[in-house]
Amino acid sequence: MKIISWNINGLKSIIQKGLIDFIKKYNVDFYLFQEIKTKEIPLTFQLLGYNVYSFPAKRNGYSGILTLSKIKPNNVKYGIGIEKFDIEGRVITMEYDKFYLINVYFPNAGVGTLKRLDFKLEFDKEFEKYVLSLNKPCIICGDFNVAHKDIDIYDPINLKGYAGFTDQERQWFDHFLSLGFIDTFRYIKGNIRKYSWFSYSIIARKKNEGWRLDYCVVSKELKDKIVNADILDNVYGSDHVPILLEINI
């Protein structure tokens, strides 16, 4: 089973940049897109053979997620049951016989002022509670909006304390993984440096000055089923790049 997760930073924009060709090329079982920024989902995805599950934000042009699945789920849940988070379209959970697949877009703590740090940390806590309430192993992929370790950011000394690299956000991710979850990229790739987000500056991408903000995390029960995990940093179209998980389940 192959999964690609990608913060596309605007569905309408990335379709014009070749999203359909990308989907056809990789032809994976699941595409999990974050930050779609629209309520309008084209029929093209269904014509490509995917079941389509969209959870847009209430506010136009903001947030929202989209899951494309070749394998129809037993059940689909939108949100985590808390209105102030769910109106931003941040979580889709698909239930299958042996696992849950969760598409998630974590809030940004707020560039510069950290004005949404408390909101982000509360979401972290409530998302954790939600996942722990589920009764099957989980595959959780999306934009976590945090660079976990120093190796996950190009300049850990000078960027310490910035949104996505605060002690509080990183400590929560430590805690979350300690509850029984695996960062699949680190499990497969060890200490390889690869990043999933770059500023739109051409220089940042050329110099590989990025952050690893996007993750596929799985329950420890699935550890022996992980086949491959990677960051597709040769793909363009968004400020993020896609991440890949291959798992036997």
Binding residues: 7, 35, 143, 145, 239-240
For residue 213 the two structure tokens come to 């903000």
φ and ψ at residue 181, rounded to 5 degrees: -130, 155
Catalytic residue among 124, 143, 183, 214: 143
Rounded-to-integer distance, Cα 243 and Cα 143, Å: 10
Q: Is the dihedral of CA 106, 111, 112, 115 positive or negative?
A: negative
For residue 216 the two structure tokens come to 């596929």
21-35 burial, b at 16+ Cβ within 10 Å, e below that, comes to ebbeeeebbbbbbbb
DSSP 8-state assignment for residue 79: S
> Residue positions in the annotated binding site for Mg(2+)?
7, 35, 143, 145, 239-240
- Which residues are CB-contacts of 39 (< 8 A; sequence separation ≥ 6)? 54, 56, 60, 64
Q: Is 187 a catalytic residue?
A: no
Q: Is 105 a catalytic residue?
A: yes
Classified as helix, coil or strand, 140 is strand
Catalytic residue among 31, 50, 105, 215: 105
Catalytic residue among 50, 100, 195, 240: 240
Q: Is 78 a catalytic residue?
A: no
Please list the active-site residues. Answer: 105, 143, 240
